[in-house]
A and B are shown apart, each in its own frame.
Chain A
Amino acid sequence: MSQELNYLAKLAVEGKLGRRAFLGKAAALGASTAVATSLLSGTALAAGPKKGGHLKAGLAGGESTNSLDPATFLTQVPADFGRMWGDTLVEVSRIGEIEYRLAESIEPSADAKTWHFTIRKGVKFHNGKTLTADDVLKTMERHSGDDTKSGALGIMRGIESMKADGDVFSVTLTTANADLPYLMSDYHLIIQPNGGMDAPDAGIGTGPYKVTVNEPGVRHVGERYEDYWDAGNRGHADTVEIVVLNDATARTAALQGGQVHMINRVEPKIADLLERVPGVSVKSVSGRGHYVFLMHCNTAPFDNNDLRLALKYAIDREEMVDKILRGYGSVGNDMPINGGYPLFSEDIPQRTYDPEKASYHYKKSGHSGPITLQTAATAFSGAVDAAQLFQQSAAKCGITLDVKREPDDGYWTEVWNKQPFSASYWGGSRPVQDQMYSTAYKSDADWNDTRFFRPDFDKLLLAARAELDQAKRVGLYREMGLMVHNEGGVIVPMFNDFINAVSDTVGGWEDDPSGESMNGFALAKTWLA
């Protein structure tokens, strides 16, 4: 839905669609007038960019263990700072299209197995070296070698060979993949001189800002790079600064007190309150990120599909969106895909809270006794509260849930993907269905966190990946979605919006459904008005 909305908004702004018509269509898509209007104003850029000033963001998601090596990027702050000092080959635009960055053009072979990227000419790194296809090759090699520690290794798998020839960087895949360019937009794949082989954490890239201060977990400062190749569109402020503020209340206070110009991860509970503060506006955008409760399909009692269905019917998704997301999000449908993805089928029936069906399936499963659900504050924002809501709604269906709150510390190593029933989240950084399913639902996926082992599903996935006929692909993805929806181990109660709050002195804000803070580009693309 969001993608279509964004597209419509773009049309409206370009004058191809009347404002009224736009609002009408938006309402038909389920967006409130307020959301639609804000989308419109976000899309319409006010006066042009203004140069100068010191632009400051207070962001959650930074630790003193962070490094400037893109291979180690994991949390928000280093990834966002990477957007300041580096560039990738391509980016995914706000309406889900490929936007060319360091690659000037992309040419696939007819069977979608070999892809040629022509590298932009005249781009200079911060150390004065000129960008070549060889730098790109070395970067990709560093992220895909057998001994790499890169967070991008998962998506670099399936590459048979790579080469650099003049201005062209070419990739040959083991199996065809129609979505390869999307994978190259991954935030780890910042092009570094000589691929960063010499000094991976030097922070030398081609981005709009040069690194001047790097105090991990405290603050990061960048100074405008005068030779930036795309200076018209990015790098408006003289200097940019990220202050790491992991505590939600401290973040809000810093914005209210005028110490930063923007913050990320606004708690849905306070978004409405913050909106009322003069001089501050809340920017929310629906995306592909979702919150999940994960059941292991191969572990008792969750190996029984009736029990899985009972739990799926025993969760009140509307209440969760209402209480946990405060309306900043939409209900999930027990599959990891929503309208934010291309090739999504809108006609898959929505599952709702149904105590009768829940107790019917629960009885049929023959299970009795309490079921332990493990959760932690870090699982997702409001995870402990959500688990308690689940506990309450399940109790009304005669199902007893024991909520066990685990320490944040060690949750991702000891509980998630290890324990049979736990809370977790998936960020929205995977722009295509293939990538989402390959990451977490394919039998041999590293993070098959629902233990969904289905050869028939895998076969469909591979077929859809190689299929170039879009209509056929939609059908294949629909079938896969239904399999997960009806037989999978994932309960998806909600898709969360990304919520930022921005001071009115900031110009050029554009919502981006791919991620929070304009998919990390906020400091690079906005300016002080």
Chain B
Amino acid sequence: MGHPILNLVAQRVALGCLLLLMASVLIFIGTQILPGDIAQSILGQSATPEAVANLRKDLGLNDPAYVRYFTWLSGVLQGDLGVALSNGKPIAQAVGQRLSNTLFLAGWAALISVPLAVLLGLLAVQYKNRWPDKLISGVTLTTISLPEFFLGYLLIYFISVQLRWFPSVAIINDSMSLGQKLNTIALPVAVLVLVVLAQMMRMTRAAILNVMQSAYIETAELKGITPFNVIRKHAFPNAIAPIINVIMLNLAYLVVGVVIVEVVFAYPGMGQYLVDHVSKRDVPVVQACALIFASVYISLNIVADIVSIVANPRLRHPK
């Protein structure tokens, strides 16, 4: 291995894989200690004891836990996520559809919110303590302070029920054109953007302001460089580590944390799918979903780490 950065990157990726393996153990244990009986939950309130006993036997719930873990893990490594207990269908297919829906929603929300947040953050620094800064801070703070479902209902009430601009039911399917899909998901995207915008914008602002206090910025200012160029060329690259961190956290949130938005807009994403299966104790599905979430999260983190390393000159050239 040549450059120390390459070493670091390789190290992070390897660690990521190890982490994923550990996460799989944690997920497996977690699903085992969930209270409640799977067979009973599948059949629900009106199940008879015989029906429950019959189902338990069918599902192979009587094997020891470690045997089931290794069976599951080897299946996953071969790309087989198993079969849902509740309806006997292969999980990969159902999850694939849900995952692509989730990524579609998260993707558009990220596409709008990340550039907007950084831009607003830069603007806020530029106009520090003047009215644009205060307005941006005030508005983003308000939107982030409202519970998601509350924001969702407000938008539904005003935009969908009163004005009828966009639908409140955000169910997309494959027969829709891209334009139709975007129209359908307009409201959930709006809620997600409002929810994640503030934190990213505030971190951008704080991190840049922090760097702006440094001696080299003063030097740059004394050299007569315009304020905007000072921010762009000198402050921003040095403030990038915490900003990237917060952006990654929020991207991960867009993928794994949108259950409530999905419920409010009836969006067919992963979160809703996972919650339904948690309440049915459909362990293979819960494991598969949690594992997918974990890998999304871990890969985003690797990206954040690598960007931080690459962006920070002091880390790039360790003494």
Cβ-based interface call for A300 (8 A): no
Cβ-based interface call for A161 (8 A): no
A58, A64, A67, A250 — most chain B CB neighbours (10 Å): A64
Contacts of B37 in A (CB 8 A): 413
Per-residue 0/1 for A122-147: is the Cβ within 8 Å of any B Cβ (1 yes, 0 no)? 00000000000000000000000011
Cβ-based interface call for A434 (8 A): no
User: B266 touching A65 by the CB < 8 A rule?
Assistant: no
Looking across the interface, which residue of chain A has its beta carbon closest to that of B47? A151
User: B46 touching A410 by the CB < 8 A rule?
Assistant: no
Contact of A249 among B47, B264, B282 (CB under 8 A): B264
Contacts of B94 in A (CB 8 A): 64
Per-residue 0/1 for A412-434: is the Cβ within 8 Å of any B Cβ (1 yes, 0 no)? 11101000000000000000000
Q: Measured between alpha carbons, how far is A365 from B146 in the docked complex, in Å?
A: 49
Contacts of A447 in B (CB 8 A): 45-46
User: B265 touching A250 by the CB < 8 A rule?
Assistant: yes
A-B contact pairs, 6 of them (CB 8 A): A74-B43, A148-B51, A243-B171, A243-B266, A409-B36, A410-B41
Ordered nearest first, which 7 A-B pairs have the shortest CB separation?
Answer: A65-B86, A67-B87, A413-B36, A218-B268, A63-B276, A74-B44, A410-B36
How far does the Cβ of A518 sit from chain B's closest Cβ, in whole Å? 21
Q: Measured between alpha carbons, how far is A75 from B41 in the docked complex, in Å?
A: 12
Per-residue 0/1 for B29-44: is the Cβ within 8 Å of any A Cβ (1 yes, 0 no)? 0000011110011111
User: B88 touching A257 by the CB < 8 A rule?
Assistant: no
Q: How many residues of A contact B (CB 8 A)?
A: 48
Could you say which of B16-24, B154-162, B239-247, B293-301 contacts chain A?
Answer: B154-162
Per-residue 0/1 for A250-290: is the Cβ within 8 Å of any B Cβ (1 yes, 0 no)? 10011011111000000000000000000000000000000
User: A256 touching B161 by the CB < 8 A rule?
Assistant: yes
Cβ-based interface call for A201 (8 A): yes
User: B45 touching A416 by the CB < 8 A rule?
Assistant: yes
Contacts of B47 in A (CB 8 A): 151
Contacts of B164 in A (CB 8 A): 257-258
Q: Measured between alpha carbons, how far is A148 from B35 in the docked complex, in Å?
A: 25
Contacts of A153 in B (CB 8 A): 48, 50-51
Given the interface contacts A74-B46, A243-B266, A414-B36, does A257 sit within 8 Å of B160 by beta carbon?
yes
What size tier do the contact residues of chain B reach? 35 or more
B binding-site residues for A, Cβ under 8 Å: 34-37, 40-51, 54-55, 58, 84, 86-88, 94, 98, 153, 156-157, 160-161, 164, 167-169, 171, 173, 263-266, 268, 272-273, 276-282
Give chain A interface residues in 144-177, CB to chain B under 8 Å.
146-151, 153-154
User: B169 touching A67 by the CB < 8 A rule?
Assistant: no
User: A149 touching B168 by the CB < 8 A rule?
Assistant: no
How far does the Cβ of B292 sit from chain A's closest Cβ, in whole Å? 15
Q: Measured between alpha carbons, how far is A58 from B54 in the docked complex, in Å?
A: 34
Contacts of B34 in A (CB 8 A): 410
Cβ-based interface call for A244 (8 A): yes
User: B54 touching A217 by the CB < 8 A rule?
Assistant: no
User: B282 touching A65 by the CB < 8 A rule?
Assistant: yes
Cβ-based interface call for A245 (8 A): yes
How far does the Cβ of B294 sit from chain A's closest Cβ, in whole Å? 20
Cβ-based interface call for A216 (8 A): yes
User: A64 touching B54 by the CB < 8 A rule?
Assistant: no
B46, B164, B272, B279 — most chain A CB neighbours (10 Å): B46
